[in-house]
Structure 1
Amino acid sequence: MATRIKMLLSLAICAVLALVHLPFTTAGGGEVAAPFEYKKALHSSLLYFEAQRSGRLPHNQRVKWRGHSGLADGLQQGVDLVGGYYDAGDNVKFGLPMAFTVTMLSWSAMEFADDITAAGEWRHVLEAIKWGTDYFVKAHTEPYVLWAEVGDGDTDHYCWQRPEDMTTSRQAYKVDRDNPGSDLVGETAAALAAASMVFRRSNPHYAQVLLHHAEQLFEFGDKYRGKYDSSIGEAYSYYASVSGYGDEILWAALWLHRATGKASYLDYAVDMADEFGGTTWAITEFSWDVKYAGLQILATKVLLEGKHPEYKATLEKYLPACLNKERRRLFVAKAEHYLCACLNKNGDAGNVNRTAGGMLFVRQWNNMQYVTNAAFLLTVYSRYLTSAGQEPPVLQCPDGPAHADELRSLARAQTDYVLGANPAGVSYLVGFIGCMQGYDNWFLRRGANPNVVIGAIVGGPDHLDRFRDRRDNYMQTEACTYNTAPMVGIFAHLHGKTAIMKKS
């Protein structure tokens, strides 16, 4: 799938990155012998979301160099669109990647709640999620209206300035019955449904509000179908929905089934599985645009739990049994395809490329998003296999079985690569202007940044593990919220595992 297109001067990296160089050493078997402070990485990743906040900042804001911004968002349209997140280094609030970010933060919170709590970061995770969900509730002004974007990339990228000093357009764009956006609406429904489960104990009323909006949005996205970037041309050049809306609608249905327990949502996911591609797409990436691998793993969770035997036949298309070589090509859409591709065990069905340094490599632009999402799905699926009581807990790949520990090992290797276990010895987790003055004074300046976006994960190196740390190298140096979101849970999980090992 294509990623968003940007012109040479289209980046407004309001926070260029200070990367930490670390030693790179290898141990037996090619594994990197480098201890990492996963708790510190978790703490930093949550600071990053505070740095990306738009709106009126709270008194407990920890990133002190960030100030209030976008306080008149929605004013021209007569709606309150203050709040939410900037997606990356620019000052536009793009709804699709923002919603995916919140979905992944919520999934992290659900899967790794104990680890996050033990690391002392549960309150900050809730705050990061709620900053997004509060905005989505505001943006859903009517049952069949969702405000999709504030600002536009073309005018925003003309300037390189802090969001606190914005002088560019804050035009807002919406999807509605006449201008549908099922992909955006579906992802927002998924985010709200997932978040509702996170808040169920601590704030049941808020959880119910989120679920109410999620169900309304799902109905909206299903009843009025269409791609949001066909309705909002301003979004096309930056976050085009290349995969269409089928994956987001199925994704939302499965999240709503998990949140509500209503059979109707699982019925929908099963009935629409073929038409929307859930059981017919072979995927080797998981991203803000392409949700198939994630929704297939959610579907396999239902099958592994064995709670709905009546759906076994269809759900097994999401998760087929062990396949021989002759039948392998008949099953192209399944969770195993993605996971086995990451493990390099997919045979002639196709694998994810790896660099010499061991990084999963999907494409040149912001490859790190695929790395962090893969680490998350590998870890989560290994837990599902183990909790299902399967002995031994193995994934059946075309090139042979893979034990759950193998999935976890690859996930940890990708995480450690991000943190510094790579040939460049660089941590890609960061540990920073009026309008054109941003270019004149900072863009090409070689000096240090006055502010550092701690916890941001940059685009990362190329297929040869090469990384050029320059502001104008936005393919590699721009950080995005959806790069860091899946790592919140992984950092917490690995910290918990490390703590257990130290005690033993």
Structure 2
Amino acid sequence: MEFSFFIFKPLCQYYLRLLLLLLLLLLCVNYNSQLGAIASFNYGEALSKSLLYFEAQRSGRLPHLQRVKWRESSALTDGLQQGVDLVGGYYDAGDHVKFGLPMAFTITMLSWSAIEYADEIASAGERRHALEAIKWGTDYFLKAHTHPDVLWVQVGEGSTDHYCWQRPEDMTTSRRAYKIDSDHPGSEVAAETAAAMAAASMVFRTWSPSYSALLLRHARELFEFADRRRGRYDSSVPAAKGYYPSLSGYGDELLWAALWLRRATGDSQYLDYVVNNAYELGGATWAVSEFSWDIKYAGLQLMAAKLLMDEGPKLSTHQRRILEEYKSKGEHYVCACLNLHRPSNNSRANKNVRRTPAGLLYVRQWNNLQYVSTAAFLLATYSDHLASAGLFLRCPTDAAVPSAALLSFARTQADYILGDNPLRLSYLVGFGHRYPSRVHHRAASSGGGGGDFVGCTEGYHRWFGRNRSNPHVVVGAVVGGPDSADGFRDVRSNFMQTEACTYNTAPMVGVFARLNREINSAIASI
């Protein structure tokens, strides 16, 4: 008996420990499987890197706390020939022209991200960087708006800039500045800049009330100018036409700016403007399947839908009816992204957005990811608005689409960008193990610095044409992305796919913040 007992006791302890280890292992496997099911990527890291990108795009005198060390101050005499200080702002892409329309849209989208997901950005430790990214743009707009009816909208010329391949610190190209005024109107860029400043005023309302009020004053003036002196900006500034032409006209920007001013001020005059101009400016009639620096209809229509959800009972019957038409057209866009319009035998009449074989939204071959990033943002935010209102999305092929389906699809697009694609390549530069290494970007692809000056065309021989990876990684840049068959050529000269733009990354700031919250909430519930 004693012998049996002393053998049995350690055996019991051994099997008990083994059982505990097995239970612990099963719990870990279950936890990891649940975690893997909800967290394909580190969205917090993607958020941080996307904000870092804007420091690589800065023009002007760089601050002491500049984190992108391979960049230096540049374009310090912008506006000097015209007697105005236009130092600052952002380069839009891989070249060095400062185009006002895409720059303003970038700031609007950054501000919208910071408004919708302020808590998420703060919890990720990125509030200061988000504010700095927005302020770098709005500080420049304040300089550029020198008179109620004068806005400087471009510095540099695409023709001469594209002739050279230099670091911005070495620029020898024309820095001629262009403006719009009462005699040379530009409603698109004036209204978009008004929208950017109105949205930014909401971001800074808590942190700097005086700065917020200053932005709002300029936004009001610019909107009034854009509406009173209506005209296409690319007619007044022909130098912009070959690069950022306004194909949609200025109706969408006027309505967009009015909605942002209504949201920033609560002033009824701006809601009246949106309602009274719904048909003339196309807000209640245009049903589109893309959202970009040029075409704002989907964004403004979904903002109008949010206004209707939030304030419906307070509105008049006429206001509700018109906003319902905005909402219907905005949901046309959402349903098109989700492929929930009824198929048509006529390909030209197909209302759904095309997709690549791997499921990426595909609008056109040139810089397609700009349309993907804006779609992901609109679907993520509209998902939240539907959920808050307890509503479903109505699409032609479905009786009711739950709000979660919109966020789920937005996540598939974000995940594709981060590497969940056939090439296993991250299109967010600097994220993951594989990403484009030959980004079409003059500063990142050029060496130099410390007095090593490279001339205008010399850069093409010395830097552009070489097959090696760029000496600098432009972290956080979202490049143009794959073609319609999910193919991608990482070649510097392949600018349709390898060039990155500020307005590609700006919407992803909000998307990554939203998805990071989703992951954190899911982890906490495990």
| TM-score with structure 2 setting the length | 0.86
1:300 counterpart residue number: 305
Are the equivalent residues in 2 in contact too, given 1:247–1:277 (CA < 8 A)? yes
1:338 counterpart residue number: 333
Per-residue deviation, 1:34: 7.0
* Residue 286 (1) aligns with residue 285 (2): no
**Closer, same or farther: CA 175–32 of 1 in aligned 2, 3 Å:** farther
1:317 counterpart residue number: 325
User: Distance in 2 between the 1:202 and 1:455 partners?
Assistant: 26
2:370 counterpart residue number: 369
2:426 counterpart residue number: 427
Per-residue deviation, 1:439: 0.7
Structure 1 stretches of at least 4 aligned residues deviating more than 4 Å after TM superposition? 31-34
Q: Give SS of 2:163's match.
A: coil
More off after superposition, 399-408 vs 249-258: 399-408
Are the equivalent residues in 1 in contact too, given 2:57–2:90 (CA < 8 A)? yes
Tell me which of 116, 121, 124 is aligned to 2:129.
124
Residues 364-443 of structure 1 correspond to what in structure 2 (within 5 A)? 364-388=365-389, 390=390, 393-400=391-398, 401-431=400-430, 432=444, 433=446, 434-443=455-464
User: Distance in 1 between the 2:523 and 2:231 partners?
Assistant: 52
More off after superposition, 445-454 vs 108-117: 445-454
1:14 counterpart residue number: none
Q: Give SS of 1:347's match.
A: coil
Tell me which of 178, 181, 187 is aligned to 1:182.
187
Give per-residue Cα distances to partners, 1:349-402, cap 9 Å, x unaligned: 6100011111000000000000000000000001111112x2xx3100001121
2:251 counterpart residue number: 246
Q: Give SS of 2:477's match.
A: coil
* Residue 168 (1) aligns with residue 173 (2): yes
User: Distance in 2 between the 1:217 and 1:381 partners?
Assistant: 28
Tell me which of 43, 51, 57 is aligned to 2:56.
51
User: Distance in 1 between the 2:171 and 2:315 partners?
Assistant: 55
Task: Give the aligned residue type for 1:316.
Answer: E
User: Distance in 2 between the 1:160 and 1:34 partners?
Assistant: 40
Give per-residue Cα distances to partners, 1:210-233, cap 9 Å, x unaligned: 000000000000000001000000
1:503 counterpart residue number: 524
Task: Give the aligned residue type for 1:430.
Answer: V
Tell me which of 473, 479, 483 is aligned to 1:462.
483
Q: Give SS of 1:149's match.
A: strand
Are the equivalent residues in 1 in contact too, given 2:278–2:284 (CA < 8 A)? yes
Give per-residue Cα distances to partners, 1:238-296, cap 9 Å, x unaligned: 00000000000000000000000000000001100100000111100000000000000
Are the equivalent residues in 1 in contact too, given 2:373–2:505 (CA < 8 A)? yes
User: Distance in 1 between the 2:375 and 2:480 partners?
Assistant: 15
* Residue 89 (1) aligns with residue 78 (2): no
User: Distance in 2 between the 1:251 and 1:289 partners?
Assistant: 12
User: Distance in 2 between the 1:120 and 1:373 partners?
Assistant: 24
More off after superposition, 306-315 vs 87-96: 306-315
Are the equivalent residues in 1 in contact too, given 2:39–2:519 (CA < 8 A)? no
2:10 counterpart residue number: none
User: Distance in 1 between the 2:487 and 2:238 partners?
Assistant: 35
User: Distance in 1 between the 2:56 and 2:416 partners?
Assistant: 24
From the two aligned structures, give the one with the greater helix fraction.
2
Per-residue deviation, 1:309: 2.1
Tell me which of 227, 234, 237 is aligned to 1:232.
237
Cα root mean square deviation, aligned: 1.3
**Closer, same or farther: CA 148–32 of 1 in aligned 2, 3 Å:** farther
| TM-score with structure 1 setting the length | 0.90
Give per-residue Cα distances to partners, 1:423-457, cap 9 Å, x unaligned: 11110000014211211011121112111100000
**Closer, same or farther: CA 118–34 of 1 in aligned 2, 3 Å:** closer
User: Distance in 2 between the 1:423 and 1:459 partners?
Assistant: 16
Residues 97-108 of structure 1 correspond to what in structure 2 (within 5 A)? 97-108=102-113
Task: Give the aligned residue type for 1:80.
Answer: D
Give per-residue Cα distances to partners, 1:317-352, cap 9 Å, x unaligned: 1124xxxxxxxxxxxxx1110000000001146100
2:360 counterpart residue number: 359
Tell me which of 504, 508, 513 is aligned to 1:492.
513
User: Distance in 2 between the 1:283 and 1:204 partners?
Assistant: 37
Are the equivalent residues in 2 in contact too, given 1:32–1:421 (CA < 8 A)? no
Give per-residue Cα distances to partners, 1:102-130, cap 9 Å, x unaligned: 00000000000010000000000000000
Are the equivalent residues in 2 in contact too, given 1:112–1:489 (CA < 8 A)? yes
User: Distance in 2 between the 1:385 and 1:448 partners?
Assistant: 45
Q: Give SS of 1:319's match.
A: helix
Are the equivalent residues in 1 in contact too, given 2:38–2:519 (CA < 8 A)? no
Is there any run of 5+ residues in structure 2 with no aligned partner, and where?
1-35, 344-349, 431-443, 447-454
* Residue 67 (1) aligns with residue 72 (2): yes
Are the equivalent residues in 2 in contact too, given 1:175–1:181 (CA < 8 A)? yes
User: Distance in 2 between the 1:182 and 1:54 partners?
Assistant: 25
Give per-residue Cα distances to partners, 1:36-64, cap 9 Å, x unaligned: 11111111111100000000000000001
What's the % identity of the aligned pairs? 64
Per-residue deviation, 1:499: 1.4
User: Distance in 2 between the 1:429 and 1:186 partners?
Assistant: 30
User: Distance in 1 between the 2:165 and 2:337 partners?
Assistant: 37
* Residue 151 (1) aligns with residue 156 (2): yes
Task: Give the aligned residue type for 1:159.
Answer: C
User: Distance in 1 between the 2:409 and 2:178 partners?
Assistant: 41
User: Distance in 1 between the 2:62 and 2:209 partners?
Assistant: 24
Are the equivalent residues in 1 in contact too, given 2:380–2:514 (CA < 8 A)? no
More off after superposition, 149-158 vs 444-453: 444-453
User: Distance in 1 between the 2:516 and 2:384 partners?
Assistant: 16
Are the equivalent residues in 1 in contact too, given 2:38–2:522 (CA < 8 A)? no
Is there any run of 5+ residues in structure 1 with no aligned partner, and where?
1-30, 321-333
1:12 counterpart residue number: none
Task: Give the aligned residue type for 2:355.
Answer: R
2:13 counterpart residue number: none
Are the equivalent residues in 2 in contact too, given 1:148–1:184 (CA < 8 A)? yes
1:259 counterpart residue number: 264
User: Distance in 1 between the 2:131 and 2:336 partners?
Assistant: 33
Are the equivalent residues in 2 in contact too, given 1:38–1:491 (CA < 8 A)? yes
Task: Give the aligned residue type for 1:365.
Answer: W
Per-residue deviation, 1:33: 8.7
User: Distance in 1 between the 2:380 and 2:296 partners?
Assistant: 17
User: Distance in 2 between the 1:496 and 1:385 partners?
Assistant: 17
User: Distance in 2 between the 1:246 and 1:35 partners?
Assistant: 40
User: Distance in 1 between the 2:470 and 2:247 partners?
Assistant: 35
User: Distance in 1 between the 2:38 and 2:161 partners?
Assistant: 43
User: Distance in 1 between the 2:374 and 2:131 partners?
Assistant: 20
